[in-house]
Amino acid sequence: MTDRPLLLLDVDGPLNPFRSRLAGLRGYAGHRMRPTIWMSRRNPASRSARRGLKVRLHPAHGARLTALPYELAWATTWMHQANTMIAPHIGLPGDLPVIEWPELFTPDPDGLSWKTRALVDWAAGRPFAWVDDMITPLDRAWVAAHHPAPALLLRVHPRHGLRDRDFSALTRWAADLSPAGR
């Protein structure tokens, strides 16, 4: 364990700006993939399943993420496949820790993201930044009330993916943590 805060990464939205109207986002490369969670919602004989999911990834994101003062972990429905399918395309190590969700997409009784409670449990009291496209004000308020350490919940628009301002916000937040909070 390190004294650095955790950086909990979602794939779709932050790393794969899947809602972008532009086919060729600047610097992004398109890849066809068949993640298990996506395939489970397709007829295996369908054209969609044969072609695979189009995923847009920026090859410089891995270096930018590893340069941040965080311990990286996946917080995505891709789970372990993020290490094998996403990491190689953006230059991240293929052995990052993975949050294994007890159940995917289960509605929360309080209207939180289905990830929020499990993510806070997984962080186990450590400071963390969570980068996702599904974060809401309810999630921020719940984490502030139920997590004993500092937390940054950074919502990234799924049309844009991670941008310079997001990397700046992550850098600032980590720098602002007191040594006692790390």
Residue 180 has pLDDT above 50, yes or no: no
| Number of residues that this document lists for the chain | 182
Q: What is the pLDDT of residues 104-162, one digit of tens each?
A: 888 889 999 999 999 999 999 999 999 999 999 999 999 999 999 999 999 999 999 99
Q: What is the pLDDT of residues 68-117, one digit of tens each?
A: 999 999 999 999 999 999 999 999 999 999 999 988 888 889 999 999 99
Helices (H), 40-158: 47-51, 61-67, 81, 87-90, 116-123, 137-146
Q: 1 or 115: whose pLDDT is higher? A: 115
Tokens of residue 3, six digits: 């004294």
Q: 78 or 181: whose pLDDT is higher? A: 78
82-99: b (≥16 Cβ within 10 Å) or e: bbebbbebbbbeeebebb
What is the band of 44 on the pLDDT scale with cuts at 50, 70, 90?
confident
pLDDT of residue 55: 93
pLDDT of residue 157: 94
pLDDT of residue 14: 96
Q: 167 or 40: whose pLDDT is higher? A: 167
pLDDT of residue 2: 63
Domain residue ranges in the chain? 6-16+58-181
CATH class of 6-16+58-181: alpha beta
Question: What angle is formed at CA 89 by the lines to CA 12 and CA 11, rounded to 5 degrees?
Answer: 15
C-alpha gyration radius of the chain? 16
pTM above 0.85, yes or no: yes
